[in-house]
Structure 1
Amino acid sequence: MAYTIFITASAFHPKGVSVLEAAGCRLIYLDAGGDEAAVDHIMAANQIDAVISRTVTLSARAIASCPSLKVISKHGVGVSNIDVAAATARNIPVFVTPGANAQSVAEMALGLMLACARKIAWMDAEIKDGRWSRAQDGLELSGRTLGLVGCGQIGQRLAKACLALGMNVAAYDPGYGRVAPMDGISMVGSVDELLPVSDVLSLHVPLNAHTRGLIDADAFAKLPNQAILINTARGEVVDEAALISALKGGRLFAAGLDTTADEPILPDNELLRLANVVLTPHVGGSTLAALAEMAKSAAENVLGFLKGEPPPISACVNPQNDAIHKGVFP
């Protein structure tokens, strides 16, 4: 049987395309610059079996408009752009690709950490503007403590690198089915317990009702003075107004952010004007190797389910995800 797969992007890595084309699938792509309305239109106008979701919103309206839809896979792990509740109401499983971009994101977090600690981005900008400005008040990371909010595959890979630098590592994992922590990580029972020991706080949790605004003014007040915040998770996990206040007031030494509340970041956002902020445009998981692996895994997710061979239960984010293995999902 030939399946119709809708990819909500204008391009898909050849590694994923080859998996789908080998199975005889018909592929529909979103035009470059396509938005939520364009996704809604394509969903309503086609008999789509599966969606591979990139960054554009897959709304409840789009899901409801496509009676043939059977399965969704995110190209990555964050599903804040997918209406999972709407999919769940129709017994449509939503899969992710855990681990596919873990190394890529961990390396980005490490890069942001080093850039913040040594003011690398600021000195680079100064030199390019003709000023020989030498920051000699950077922080050595050896001997300091990395605090991980979330200790899954990304957090553990970052921990391994930081342990090699001579850092201590503590972590709180809110329990999203992650793998058991590795040796060298001291686990604590709550975020409140983690904050006072975290000279560097790095976030590795999904965005949901429990994590939205998790790092707020109270959290910043509990961190050691002159701590560093690293966020490669989701911008909304951090109260941005409180972050700006902590940065301007000197409570934080710096922040390295691969993600912000609004993406693209709005021109009037004060983060753009703070010298102790390093910004990247949500590309932590976007190395060539990670894009290839995510595309392959997402393609295998949807094909496996359509052929009656669903991915591991850990890859499913629906509240009733065990139903896949109990035969509830069609």
Structure 2
Amino acid sequence: MTVRVLAAGDHFVLNRLLVAALRREAPTGLEVAELTLPWPVEPFGRVGEVQEASDVEDALIGALRGVEVCVTQMAPLTKRVLAAAEDLRLFCVTRGGPVNANLAAATEAGVAVTFAPGRNAVATAEHTVALLLAATRRIPQTHADLASGVWRGDYYRYDNVGPELAGSTVGLVGSGAIGSRVAAILRGFGAEVLVHDPYAGLAEHVELPELLARSRFLSLHARATPETAGMIGAAELSALPRGAVVVNSARGSLLDYDALCDALDSGHLFGAALDVFPEEPIPPGSRLLRTPNLVMTPHLAGGSKQTAANAARIAAEEVGRYLRGEPLLHLANPELRQLR
């Protein structure tokens, strides 16, 4: 029996990667159609009742007619889409979490939703350390000066240079797939790594107040939950030693950005580096655009060719399990564990 699949890729997780991974997993028995979504050329946003999706409900509804399986990164699985997709049974999201899928509505409609944990762990860990180094060594600022024809020797003044990683203490908030890789890289630099993660049961775990008091560098890797929202605010930043560096490549909701700007403006923090923000894109007039000693990248820490390939592979493996009637490995709505 032929199973109809929609590969709804974009300009990062390309359709050719999705299709190739599906063909490797199931060389026969698939009829694959393609729909190309506009991300990241067009930013994601709220679509209907879901977050971080491409605004393509109408196109998706048309493409899902008669389709049993959809593999995508940014397509919105909303109530409206589910109501129109009568044949859909499996929706594979090629991201670390299915934030673009209405899980309750999908469960009610009998549609299993999977995701791709760890797809970007290596890329994000590497980018995190790059941000940490860039903020500490003032790399973007010095490059901009040189590119504009200005040679500033004052960067070498004692008060303007940052600490070395070797021999410094780095505090990590969260120790999942990304945080644990960051820890391994930093230990290679000779840093002492402390971890605050009450759910991991690690020997290095310390309570947050101790971690803040001891850490010259602070890097955030916790999940975005109601409990972690705003967990690093003015009080936590002031608890860091003067001259500390803060990095956030996890989620914008973890950090109070006004408090961060205050700490940078006052000189309490030596620097900070951000890949995620409370509002994306950053709105014009944001304090972040005029705060000193701040390095920013536009939510691209997970962007590597390997991440895109991993995402396609993980999703295709779930499709293979579905076709063979095996339990799905990364099922977001486990109420639908038995599908075929």
Quickly name the TM-score band, shorter chain normalised: 0.7 to 0.9
**For residues 246 and 51 of structure 1, what CA distance do their matches in structure 2 show?**
46
Question: Any gaps of 5 or more consecutive residues in structure 1?
Answer: none
- Alpha-carbon deviation of 1:31? 4.2
Aligned to 1:133: 152
Asked if the contact 1:304–1:310 (Cα under 8 Å) also holds between the matched residues in 2, the reply is yes
Aligned to 1:161: 185
1:145 matches 2:166: no
Amino acid aligned to 1:294: A
| 1:40–1:207 CA distance, 2 compared to 1 (3 A) | same
Aligned to 2:205: 187
| 1:55–1:244 CA distance, 2 compared to 1 (3 A) | farther
Amino acid aligned to 1:158: V
What does 1:1-330 correspond to in 2, within 5 Å? 1-7=2-8, 9=10, 12=14, 14-21=16-23, 22-23=27-28, 24-32=30-38, 36=47, 38-45=55-62, 46-47=64-65, 48-55=67-74, 57-134=76-153, 135-136=155-156, 137-175=161-199, 186-188=204-206, 190-312=207-329, 315-318=330-333, 321=334, 323=335, 325=337, 327=338
Query: Residue by residue, what CA displacement relative to the aligned partner does 1:96-124 show, whole Å, maximum 9, x if unpaired?
Result: 22222211111000100100111111101
**For residues 287 and 71 of structure 1, what CA distance do their matches in structure 2 show?**
26
Asked if the contact 2:275–2:297 (Cα under 8 Å) also holds between the matched residues in 1, the reply is yes
Question: Any gaps of 5 or more consecutive residues in structure 2?
Answer: 48-53
Identity of aligned residues (%): 32
3-state SS in 2 of match to 1:265: coil
| 1:245–1:229 CA distance, 2 compared to 1 (3 A) | same
> When the two structures are superposed, what TM-score results if normalisation uses the length of structure 1?
0.84
Q: Highest Rg: 1 or 2?
A: 2
Amino acid aligned to 2:91: I
Q: Which has the higher contact order (CA 8 A, sep 6+)?
A: 1
- Alpha-carbon deviation of 1:306? 4.7
Asked if the contact 1:117–1:141 (Cα under 8 Å) also holds between the matched residues in 2, the reply is no
**For residues 88 and 209 of structure 1, what CA distance do their matches in structure 2 show?**
23
Asked if the contact 1:110–1:158 (Cα under 8 Å) also holds between the matched residues in 2, the reply is yes
Amino acid aligned to 1:5: L
Moved more, 232-241 or 113-122: 232-241
- Indicate the RMSD between aligned Cα atoms, in angstroms: 2.7
Aligned pair count reads 316
Asked if the contact 2:21–2:312 (Cα under 8 Å) also holds between the matched residues in 1, the reply is no
3-state SS in 2 of match to 1:284: coil
- Alpha-carbon deviation of 1:221? 2.5
| 1:164–1:126 CA distance, 2 compared to 1 (3 A) | same
> When the two structures are superposed, what TM-score results if normalisation uses the length of structure 2?
0.82
Amino acid aligned to 2:237: F
- Alpha-carbon deviation of 1:142? 1.6
Aligned to 2:51: none
| 1:276–1:83 CA distance, 2 compared to 1 (3 A) | farther
Amino acid aligned to 2:127: M
| 1:27–1:200 CA distance, 2 compared to 1 (3 A) | farther
**For residues 13 and 286 of structure 1, what CA distance do their matches in structure 2 show?**
16
